[in-house]
Chain A
Amino acid sequence: MEIDIKTAKKVNLNSQAITTVYRHYKDNFLPIGIIIACIGILFFVIAPQFKNYLSSKEELKTQTQKLKFLKNNYNFLLSLDDSKTDTDFKMLSKVLPPNKDFVGIMSAITIVASKTFVTVEDFDFTLGDLNKVDDNSSKYPLIKINVNIGGSAKDIAKFIAELYKTVPASQVTSIKTAGNVSSLVINFYYKPFPPQNVNSESFVVPISAKNQSLIESVSLWNSSGLDAFPDVSASVSGGTNPSPF
């Protein structure tokens, strides 16, 4: 029996009918199967691979940018003048010492007094524990000094101006002048070096022009001498090494 599937209105799905349909369409099965398999491969294999390719491309872009950034850092570090970096570091560490630099403070007062022709009568200050940073409410730890200075009010102005150009960094917070004697309260600042967990991948910020001019300006400040820095630190810290390296 042969069934015309085009004209048949009602087909009984018995094994004979299925066999007939199979025989009729068997040549179509392979290409249709291939097309379906291709669509499957496209969606389940190629699409994820393409997604993977895009993410790899994105990673390559990120890695290339990082590499470029690191190479810039490396070239920048290579181009730095070792001796200048060293001198700047020592000088800035004298301007803002890492610890309670009482020798520096005494030197500063002496240098400024002799430069401005005033007499230092008496002074008092408390350093506390030399290895401990004082818990001040101010942003920078400081040592407060009360000093009596012999000289006119104009001399005191000169003294302060000169003190502001002398290491370590200081600030006069109070002036009381009566006759030819003035009582000054001076804050001398210090700040311990921060923990040295500098990441090699972190961006090396070049010193700005403003900070470069600050370096030049503070390098002209009165100082008892840059070479004194390691000795001063050693004596103040009771033998501990203030070097962050």
Chain B
Amino acid sequence: MSSDINLVSSKTHQLEKELERLKALKIIAVGSLSVVALISILLFVITITLPISSVKKDKEQTLSNISALHEKLVKYSLINNRLSDISGIIKSRKNYDLLVSTVLNKLPADLSVDSMTIDSGTFTLVISGVSLTPIDNFIEDIIVLGNEEKIIKNLVIQGLLANADTGKYTLTLKADTL
């Protein structure tokens, strides 16, 4: 008796394959439907749970609270504004008092100031005395001051005059202020 007899026809085999394919298609279809439904529901839920409206409401409430303090806000903003302006003015102004007092502190007692001019960044000083020694000392001190370039710079001795009638020496100095 032959054992090689094929009882399953090729048609039946093909039908089974088609049924399997159909089953797979149905599973994929149901799966897709479930996935789409699940994503839709999830998306809907997480979108509606975003608390945008409550945050906006809270923001409006806070804004209205701030509006009640508007005068305070304006005053505070003006204070900041004024501080910035005052700081700018203080920073930009020339400390001529420091220049004058520093230069005059170097002036020996036996010399006197004839005239002093500070204008448009230029400092001119005319001093006089009966002896050349204090004038020399003063020049040395003022040169150091000019070299430091903290208060004055570009120091120039414009002239040293001797007046035979009065017996006085007059020194004229010029420098740029810093």
Interface residues of A (CB under 8 A from B): 6, 27-28, 30-32, 34-35, 38-39, 41-42, 45-46, 49-50, 52-53, 56-57, 59-60, 63-64, 66-67, 70-71, 73-74, 77-78, 80, 82, 85-86, 88-89, 92-93, 95-96, 139-140, 152-154, 156-161, 164, 169-179, 182, 189, 191, 193-194, 196, 198, 200-201, 204-205, 207, 210-211, 214-215, 218, 244-245
B43 & A169 in contact (Cβ 8 Å cutoff)? no
Q: Can you report 20 residue pairs joining A to B where beta carbons are below 8 Å apart?
A: A31-B29, A34-B30, A38-B35, A46-B40, A56-B52, A59-B52, A63-B52, A63-B56, A74-B65, A77-B76, A88-B79, A154-B101, A169-B89, A171-B94, A172-B97, A196-B78, A198-B73, A200-B63, A205-B80, A207-B83
Among residues 94 to 129 in chain B, which have CB atoms less than 8 Å away from a CB atom of chain A? 94-98, 100-101, 104, 113-120
How many angstroms from the CA of A82 to the CA of B29 in the assembled complex? 70
Among residues 36 to 88 in chain B, which have CB atoms less than 8 Å away from a CB atom of chain A? 36, 39-40, 43-44, 46-47, 50-52, 55-56, 58-59, 62-63, 65-67, 69-88
Report, as a range, how many residues of chain B touch the other chain. 35 or more
Looking at the assembled complex, report how far the CB atom of B168 sits from the nearest CB atom of chain A, in whole angstroms.
Answer: 15
Q: Does B33 contact A (CB under 8 A)?
A: yes
| B46, B71, B100, most chain A CB atoms within 10 A | B100
How many angstroms from the CA of A245 to the CA of B72 in the assembled complex? 10
B29 & A198 in contact (Cβ 8 Å cutoff)? no
Complex interface: chain B residues within 8 A of A204 (CB): 73, 76-77
Q: Does B150 contact A (CB under 8 A)?
A: no
Q: Kindly identify which residue among B86, B100, B117 contacts A169, using a CB–CB cutoff of 8 Å.
A: B86
Complex interface: chain A residues within 8 A of B74 (CB): 196, 198, 244-245
Q: Kindly identify which residue among A77, A154, A170, A215 contacts B104, using a CB–CB cutoff of 8 Å.
A: A154
Interface 9-residue window, one of B1-9, B20-28, B130-138, B153-161:
B20-28
How many angstroms from the CA of A204 to the CA of B62 in the assembled complex? 14
A78 & B100 in contact (Cβ 8 Å cutoff)? no
Q: Say what secondary structure dominates the interface of chain A.
A: helix
How many angstroms from the CA of A214 to the CA of B113 in the assembled complex? 36
B70 & A200 in contact (Cβ 8 Å cutoff)? yes
Q: Kindly identify which residue among A86, A160, A214 contacts B86, using a CB–CB cutoff of 8 Å.
A: A214
Given contacts A34-B29, A177-B116, whether A70 and B63 have CB atoms under 8 Å apart is yes
Complex interface: chain B residues within 8 A of A207 (CB): 79-80, 83
A38 & B32 in contact (Cβ 8 Å cutoff)? yes
How many angstroms from the CA of A2 to the CA of B149 in the assembled complex? 114
A96 & B33 in contact (Cβ 8 Å cutoff)? no
B63 & A60 in contact (Cβ 8 Å cutoff)? no
Complex interface: chain B residues within 8 A of A71 (CB): 62
A154 & B100 in contact (Cβ 8 Å cutoff)? yes
B117 & A175 in contact (Cβ 8 Å cutoff)? yes
B63 & A214 in contact (Cβ 8 Å cutoff)? no
Complex interface: chain B residues within 8 A of A214 (CB): 83, 86-87, 90
B75 & A86 in contact (Cβ 8 Å cutoff)? yes
B117 & A176 in contact (Cβ 8 Å cutoff)? yes
Looking at the assembled complex, report how far the CB atom of A211 sits from the nearest CB atom of chain B, in whole angstroms.
Answer: 4
A52 & B47 in contact (Cβ 8 Å cutoff)? yes
Complex interface: chain B residues within 8 A of A169 (CB): 86, 89-90
A172 & B96 in contact (Cβ 8 Å cutoff)? yes
Complex interface: chain A residues within 8 A of B75 (CB): 85-86, 89, 245
B47 — nearest CB in chain A belongs to which residue? A53
B90 — nearest CB in chain A belongs to which residue? A169
Given contacts A89-B79, A169-B90, A193-B78, whether A201 and B72 have CB atoms under 8 Å apart is no
How many angstroms from the CA of A31 to the CA of B119 in the assembled complex? 97
